[in-house]
Amino acid sequence: MGSPGNSDLILVLNAGSSSIKLAVFDGQLTQILTGIADGIGGSGTLKLGDAKAVRDLPDHATALHAILQELESQGFYITRFAAAAHRVVHGGTTLTQPTRITPAVLTAIKACTPLAPLHNPHNVAAIETLSALAPDLPQVAAFDTAFHASNPEVATRYALPAAIEARGIRRYGFHGISYASLIDSLPTLTGTPLPARLLALHLGNGASICAIRDGKSIATSMGYSPLEGLTMGTRTGMIDGNAVLRLAEEDGIAATHTLLNKESGLRGLSGGLSDMRALLADPSPASAFAVEHFCYWAIRHAGSLIAAMQGLDAVAFTGGIGENAAPVRARIMEGLAWLGAELDIRANAMGATRLHAPASKIACWIIPAQEERMIAGDAQRLLCGE
């Protein structure tokens, strides 16, 4: 497929349950194209740059083939790519750094499917399909759990018998690629060294917080799955296990799974709204309470993570809510005022990179999420043998 060209481009793929997102980066890691195949499983849409078309996308293989055809029609022949890099949600305890995909690595990714049954199979489908369509193209996997492999065992172990822990029931943490990107770009964006004790908040439809000590994750709010921790768009966040058992007994496991993951969080509290922009614009008491719940539990979890670091030097916000919702940032920083954190109100309203007032004892920044760029950089470093 395609004609020869300069092999300097990186294709980044993020395969979900009903979509495949993509981005193309050049040799300087500048993003030059984005796209998405959406609605996989039926009649869907394929968008690549400014081009958009309705396509029949019955499965991931068809969608990926359509993506490659559209890339070629826009001059991005497969031979121009140095590698394809995949966001893989779960790497378990063994896949803890970006890795060149080999048959053994693919087997290990498949072995993690019980840990991420809603995600890893789609990642695997994209890898296998691309291998069939472009067998000579190197492929790389970056794992969303890998950044938290540096957590000590006391942070990752649930208080369960060893035989249960051996089945993989432990805390893993997620949003790792986002956090890795954050510490990679913070010094450049802020003009300051990486803080020794950094509280990083990835706030979006999925939300988590990470305690980063000397550039390494030492604790995070998500656990065995992305359900644990903060109040989220549609996920409950932290909930007592016995409450879950009662719901499963009364309503069934499938209904409880749907409730906890898709019908709770901001959506459940507000009566239907899960988007923070809509909630902030809605004058209803239920929406106001949902926003306050989101902020309150972010502050509560932040306190725990600050204790794990034995102090705090800086706060960084990232993700859709973290980067764009000034009232949420203000409320969370208000909750950290006891530490000497002081927000520059005007800078926060403008969404400036630097959010802290001159007298603040705690630095505060907005660091835009650049997960795709981080994945492309990981692939580039692996290809260069770094």
User: 350 among the known binding-site residues?
Assistant: no
Does residue 3 have a pLDDT over 50?
no
User: 171 among the known binding-site residues?
Assistant: no
* 110 to 88, 114, 121, 122, 212: CA distances (angstroms): 11, 9, 7, 10, 29
Which is catalytic among the residues 144, 184, 240, 313? Answer: 144
Q: Which residue has the tokens 């968008």?
A: 47
Does residue 2 have a pLDDT over 70?
no
User: 9 among the known binding-site residues?
Assistant: no
Strand order in the sheet with 363-366: 216-220, 207-213, 197-203, 314-318, 363-366
- For the segment 86-126, what is each residue's pLDDT rounded down to a tens digit? 999 999 999 999 999 999 999 999 999 999 888 899 999 99
Residue type, 152: P
Cβ contacts of 106-111, under 8 Å, gap ≥ 24 = 109/141
Q: Could you confirm whether 344 is annotated as catalytic?
A: no
Closest-CA residue to 229 (of 172, 149, 282, 280): 172
User: 340 among the known binding-site residues?
Assistant: no
Distance CA 251, CA 256 (A): 6
Distance CA 171, CA 34 (A): 33
Distance CA 92, CA 246 (A): 29
Angle at 140 between CA 134 and CA 142, to 5 degrees: 140
* 269 to 101, 217, 232, 284: CA distances (angstroms): 42, 31, 10, 12
Determine the average pLDDT of the residues in 280-285: 98
Assigned token pair, 111: 């072995």
Does residue 270 have a pLDDT over 80?
yes
- For the segment 333-380, what is each residue's pLDDT rounded down to a tens digit? 999 999 999 999 999 999 999 999 999 999 999 999 999 999 999 999
**For the chain, which domains are there?**
9-143 (3.30.420.40), 192-371 (3.30.420.40)
Gap between the terminal Cα atoms of the chain: 30
Specify the length of the chain in residues: 386
- For the segment 215-249, what is each residue's pLDDT rounded down to a tens digit? 999 999 999 999 999 999 999 999 999 999 999 99
Distance CA 60, CA 40 (A): 7
- For the segment 292-302, what is each residue's pLDDT rounded down to a tens digit? 999 999 999 99
DSSP structure class, residue 343: B
